[in-house]
Amino acid sequence: MGWTCHYTPPRDERAEIERLVTFENEDRAMRPVFTTRKGSVWYLAVEVTPKTDTTDSYGYEADALGRYVFAAVILTRRDSGEWCYKDMEESMGRCEAQAPQKLLDLLSATTKEYALEWRKKCKASAVLTGRKIAHGDTIQLAEPLEFSDGIERDTFTVQRERFAGAKRTTTHFLCKNTGMACRISRYMQRAWIKV
């Protein structure tokens, strides 16, 4: 599937994303029961309620009322003033896999191989991103990183600061050996331990 683009971005992006997975016909009704966003990627738990006894559950284990919940992944981007999205379902193969554990807990059991693999990747990501670090903590990376000055570093002191006028705290790292201030991209998705 390709990308769908609109000339005008939605006023409420969350409402638009939830509208994309809300559906009803004579066989079934679908609605989001949990929505979250990681960067430009939206993750949704979508509940499907059958309206007939013959409605297929497509490889998901239905409850006593025939309902089941699957995950939807919707990528978004802004390109030349346009707002674009690409919607996928967890069993469609390779896609972003950073859904939180809270969403995974809502999903119905399934036999779909791609969905099971996606859930496994999400759980592994949730374990990494669920770790907590604070200002002053020391971390050691499982594998040293080579920085632009050509030196490999693996042990850092965490520096968290909120600059004047900023809404978020900025995290950077001081090398324990050299004192050099370093930036580590996607540090919560890397393997490291507190020292």
Spatial neighbors of 17 by CB under 8 A, at least 6 apart, are 35, 42, 44, 74, 76, 85
| Residue 165 sits in the same domain as residue 110 | no
Average pLDDT over the chain, rounded to an integer: 91
Among the ranges given (119-123, 137-141, 156-160, 166-170), the one the predictor scored with the smallest mean pLDDT: 166-170
| Residue 53 sits in the same domain as residue 108 | yes
Q: Residue 70 — φ and ψ, nearest 5°?
A: -125, 170
Return the pLDDT at 37: 96
- The alpha carbons of the chain give a radius of gyration, in whole angstroms, of 21
Strand, helix or coil for residue 82 = strand
| Residue 150 sits in the same domain as residue 170 | yes
Return the pLDDT at 122: 94
Return the pLDDT at 1: 60
Nearest to 153 by CA among 167, 166, 163, 143: 143
| Residue 123 sits in the same domain as residue 145 | no
Q: Cβ-count burial of 164 within 10 angstroms (0-12 exposed, 13-18 middle, 19+ buried)?
A: exposed
Question: Per-residue pLDDT averaged across 60-82, rounded?
Answer: 92
Question: Per-residue pLDDT averaged across 106-110, rounded?
Answer: 96
Strand, helix or coil for residue 152 = strand
Q: How many domains does the chain have?
A: 2
Strand, helix or coil for residue 72 = strand
| Residue 158 sits in the same domain as residue 177 | yes
User: One-letter amino acid identity for 167?
Assistant: K
> Is the predicted pLDDT of residue 127 greater than 90, yes or no?
no
Q: What is the distance between the alpha carbons of residues 111 and 91, in angstroms, rounded to a whole number?
A: 10
Task: Count the alpha carbons within 13 Å of 26 in the hemisphere toward its beta carbon.
Answer: 1
| Residue 109 sits in the same domain as residue 158 | no
Distance of CA 61 to the CA centre of its chain: 24
Task: Kindly report, residue by residue over 144-174, the tens digit of the pLDDT.
Answer: 999 988 889 999 999 998 888 888 888 989 9
Range of the domain at 184: 138-194
Q: Which residue has the higher pLDDT, 65 or 113?
A: 113
> Is the predicted pLDDT of residue 29 greater than 80, yes or no?
yes
| Residue 52 sits in the same domain as residue 99 | yes
